[in-house]
Amino acid sequence: MSKLGLSQKAIIEITLLIIILFITGNILQTQISRKLNDAAEESVSNMTADMAQLANERFMRYISTLEATARYLEEHEDQKDNIIVALNRENIYGRAGIMDYEGHTQGAVVSKHEYPKLSRAFQGNSVVDYHADGGIIVAVPVCYGDNVRYVIYQIFSRRNVTAVFGMADYNPHTKIMIQYKDGSMAVPYENFSTRDHEFWGNKDIQNGMAEVHRRLKTSKAAAVYTEGAEGKFFVFGADLPQTEFSLMGYIPWSAVAGKISSVYQMIQWVFTLLLLLFACVSIYLFMAQTKVAENAALKKAREAADEANQAKSQFLANMSHEIRTPINAINGMDEMILRRTRDKEIQRYASNIHSASTALLGIINEILDFSKIESGRMELVTDNYSLRSLLKDVTTLVGFRAKAKHLEFIINVDEKLPNELYGDVGRIRQILINVINNAIKYTDEGSVTFDVSGDVNDDTLLLNLTVTDTGIGIRPEDMDKLFQVFERLDLQKNCKVEGTGLGLAITHRLLTMMGGTVQVESTYGEGSSFIIGLPQKIMGTELVGDFNADQDIEEELLEVNSTSFTAPDASILVVDDNEMNCFVATCMLSDTKAKLTVAHSGTEALELLKQEFFHVVMMDYMMPGMDGIATLHEAKKLEGTKNTKFIILTATALAGVREKFLAEGFDDYLSKPMTGKQLDTVVKRNLPESLLHPVEASELSAEEITVAPAKVEEKAGTGDAPEIDRSIGLKYCNNSDMLYNRILDMFSKLCEANIKEMEDAFGEEDWHSYRIKVHALKSGALNIGCKLLNEMAKAQEQAAKDFLADDAPDEQRNEAVKYLKAHHEEIMTVYRKVADMAKSMMEEA
């Protein structure tokens, strides 16, 4: 419906309503005035009845006087003349007389024909009669015994009737007259003029009177409201009981309903007000309706926008999944390359791949973070944390970068700061790494300084984190844009700096979420400092203490790429439809020596779970057919999965995903792409303590290098002089010189004892014990970086294995013994030699 149509329709509706209200109002008005007039008519009618009573009493007064006179006359029949004189004297308006049955009169002369009612007086009744010419006569019988002999009467001529019977004094507004039954006016009111004749002759008044007469047939008195040329009047009438007279009159409407009419006006006024109010309300409602319609349109638009945004979020989530899966493969495979290869060239390539994919992952994570903040789905996960370890984490990570760029990284920590704090440590770490990395990114030479101080206020610590660099600085005009989305400043200068430009925007928003602030001070060309203020709750009294960044970096490095445990008795099931992912996971977990099984679908996994027990099941979420969650629910129903831990692997890294999966019943969560360390940590966390063994240095990666024995044999046959490759050794020691030295020391010290044990076993042909010892030697040799000894030991161990194999034919056993015996002495010699070399290397260090 168009807007115009709506408004036209509304106007028609309102007009209709107003018309209806107007009509009903008019009906109401008519009804009210009718009711008021009815009520007034009734009250006037009652008044008339009273007046009729009054008029009647006037007649009765004369009748009773005459009756008393009649009683006197009955006793003094001869006193007629005197009585007449006395009566005339008493009432000057009337003339008295006495009539006998024959019609002879004494005193006032009247005729029986003029006053037919006189006959009724002769029958013994007191009467009042009227004649248009003679006036009103009042007559009573004079009785002697049972019989009437005379009638005594008083006659009031027309001139005098008003003075005697007039009712004008009843009320100043009211005009009252007395009519005879034939309609002639017996007693007019005072000053009855031609004007009054006109009034009574008026058609409307006559109609009113006709109605009065009609009503008088059944009621004592009646009043009728008339409205016409003469104005508004009530005309009324009442019959005088027992006479042929009626009382008639009129009263102006205003005299009766004057006060009531103000009530009527009031009602009218109120109704008008209501009408106006209604009109106002209608208009208001109409406007509101229009507004609602507009709002609905706006709401629709917003919904559309929301939908688009939702679609964008969905797209981002999908993209993140799609991108993360291949990155996972790249990272995993690359890590395997790094772990396995000894070729320095290849290691460098792999390392470059690693840093590139890490950077790519970082970018994707930033975009994801930003999308989370945009959609309001970013949630803070607060918990107790240690400031010291936070700072350690940060400095460890950024220290490398600084070192790589040959920048000096200085960290100053106020040792009196409280250590135990409460907040979202993950996000704070992210902020700090971001800001410091930024500083490193834009600094080509000089230093990056990280100052940590704070003010304690009650239970809150206002952390002051200042990152100062000696970099390119920021132009004052760019300051405002600094925290804006996708802004990268000074593009010409920075074209070789990588990044999305989201980092500082995310930082700013995260800080705002946490109630913190960030300020920037910068001199263009000289450097900048980012000052972060962040309030954190203090949870304990422990202080940070002396903070040595360098040492911490060393300690941290020990952990890198190390497999912290082995669990040979553990069994792990990897479920993923993606072959590459399975491969990555199994490769990475192979160090744990756990029994690894792979399933390529939920169904397959369930089959396996039915058959055997797994300590840990690592399950991908997105799988064709049954997804991770469905598989989990089915798996939980199976017997024997009570102690199985389920870990979900997913490339969906949006907010709340972790919580969602944990709520579904997973024991842990791992986001792809994962690093070896992450995988390691998660698996370790979920394996029973009893199955975990710490990695012995000698055992490190002992089994990892799977080189064909024949080849080793070949190599062994070359009789190369043994040498210790420090780099290989260091690699197995996580590049820790300290650890490497310790291993070298151990290797040389244990040498003689091991040789003796091996000799004993060799002498006794205890190939089982011999095999274990050779195995240990194989690992130990690799750990210190002696490939020759390692390979020789491996070949020897293989031979021992061949001999020990249950199904080995005698021929094979003989050959194996032959091989063992042939190479034993050689290995022992090389072992001693290498042990000496190790000793000397250690001493050199």
- Which positions touch other proteins (CB under 8 A)? 1, 17, 20, 24, 27-28, 31, 34-35, 100-102, 112, 116, 118-119, 122-125, 141, 143-144, 146-149, 216-220, 239, 241-242, 296
Smallest gap from residue 130 Cβ to other proteins (A): 17
Task: Give me the helices (H) in 721-809, please.
Answer: 726-732, 737-764, 767-784, 787-804
Pair of tokens at residue 281 = 């309300």
Q: DSSP character for 623?
A: -
CB of 35 to other proteins, least distance (A): 7
Query: Closest distance between other proteins and the C-beta of residue 16, in Å?
Result: 9
| Shortest Å distance, C-beta 100 to other proteins | 6
Q: From the CB of 302, what's the least distance to other proteins, in Å?
A: 17
CB of 31 to other proteins, least distance (A): 5
- First CA to last CA across the chain, in angstroms? 91
In 3-state terms the chain splits into helix, strand, coil percentages (rounded to 5) of: 55, 20, 25
Residue 535: asked if its preceding bond is cis (omega within 30°), the reply is no
Backbone angles phi, psi at 455, to 5 degrees: -115, 130
Cβ 213 to other proteins shortest distance, Å: 13
Nearer to other proteins, 145 or 172 (CB): 145
Amino acid at 460: T
Residue 129 or 591 with smaller CB distance to other proteins: 129
Nearer Cβ to other proteins (122/666): 122
Supply the minimum distance, in Å, between the C-beta of residue 251 and other proteins.
22
CB of 39 to other proteins, least distance (A): 11
HSE (side-chain half, CA atoms, 13 Å) at 468: 11
Nearer to other proteins, 6 or 622 (CB): 6
Distance between CA atoms of residues 235 and 223, nearest Å: 6
**Which residue lies nearer to other proteins by CB, 35 or 302?**
35
Q: What are phi and psi of 617, to 5 degrees?
A: -115, 120
Give the shortest CB-433-to-other proteins separation in angstroms.
53
The residue assigned the tokens 């800080």 is 511
CB-based contacts of 562, cutoff 8 Å, min separation 6? 695, 734
**Closest distance to other proteins from the beta carbon of 3 (Å):** 14
Angle at 78 between CA 72 and CA 84, to 5 degrees: 65
Report yes or no: 419 and 546 within 8 Å, Cβ to Cβ. no
Least Å from the CB of residue 427 to other proteins? 45
217 or 637: whose CB is closer to other proteins? 217
Of residues 700, 830, 688, 698, the one with CA closest to residue 758:
830
3-state secondary structure string across 540-601: CCCECCCCCHHHHHHHHHHHCCCCCEECCCCEEEEECCCHHHHHHHHHHHHHHCCEEEEECC
- Whether the CB-CB separation of 795 and 777 falls below 8 Å is answered with no
Q: Which residues, in sequence order, are bridge partners of residue 565?
A: 694
Compute the distance between CA of residue 447 and CA of residue 270 in angstroms, rounded to an integer: 87
Q: How far is the CB of 424 from other proteins (least distance, A)?
A: 45
Closer residue to other proteins in complex, CB, 216/337: 216
Whole-number minimum distance, CB 122 to other proteins, in Å?
A: 5
Q: Cβ closer to other proteins: 263 or 296?
A: 296
Token code pair at residue 442 = 């834009």
- Rounded Cα distance between 582 and 643, Å, is 23
Instruction: Name, in order, each residue with C-beta under 8 angstroms of 722's C-beta and a sequence gap of 6 or more.
Output: 786, 788, 789, 830, 833, 834, 837
Q: If you ran DSSP here, which 8-state letter would residue 100 be given?
A: E
Measured from the CB atom, is 146 or 811 closer to other proteins?
A: 146
CB of 143 to other proteins, least distance (A): 6
Residue given tokens 């979920």 in the structure block: 686
Could you tell me the smallest distance in angstroms from the CB atom of residue 65 to other proteins? 21
Using the minimum distance from each CB to other proteins, give the nearer residue, 35 or 71: 35
In this structure, which amino acid lies at residue 53?
Q
The least CB distance from residue 239 to other proteins, in Å, is 7
Q: Which residue has the tokens 């008195």?
A: 221
User: Nearer Cβ to other proteins, position 102 or 182?
Assistant: 102
When the beta carbons of 125 and 564 are compared against other proteins, the nearer one is 125
- Nearer to other proteins by Cβ, of 20 and 92: the residue is 20
Please state, as a whole number, how many other Cβ atoms lie within 10 Å of the Cβ of residue 572: 24
**Partners of 142 in the β-ladder:** 150
628: helix, strand or coil: helix
* HEC string for 378-431: CCCCCEEEEHHHHHHHHHHHHHHHHHHCCCEEEEEECCCCECEEEECHHHHHHH
Helix (H, G, I), strand (E, B) or coil at 842: helix
Strand duo 616-620 + 571-575: pairing:
parallel
Which CA distances in Å does 104 have to 79, 144, 392?
16, 18, 154
Which C-beta is closer to other proteins: that of 237 or that of 503? 237
Shortest CB 118 distance to other proteins, Å? 8
The pair of three-digit structure tokens given for residue 583, joined into one six-digit string:
């491969």
Residue whose CB is less far from other proteins, 243 or 434: 243
Q: If you search the block for the tokens 């149509």, which residue do you land on?
A: 5
Of the two residues 55 and 744, which places its CB atom closer to other proteins in the complex?
Answer: 55
How far is residue 771's CA from residue 469's CA, in Å, rounded to a whole number?
Answer: 59
Cα(193)–Cα(172) distance, integer angstroms = 17
Nearer residue to other proteins within complex by CB, 217 or 259: 217
Return the number of the residue (9 or 636) whose C-beta is nearest other proteins. Answer: 9
Report residue 235: phi and psi, to 5°: -105, 145
Q: Quick one: CA torsion of 21, 22, 23, 29, rounded to 10 degrees?
A: 110
Whether 156 contacts 92, CB under 8 Å: no
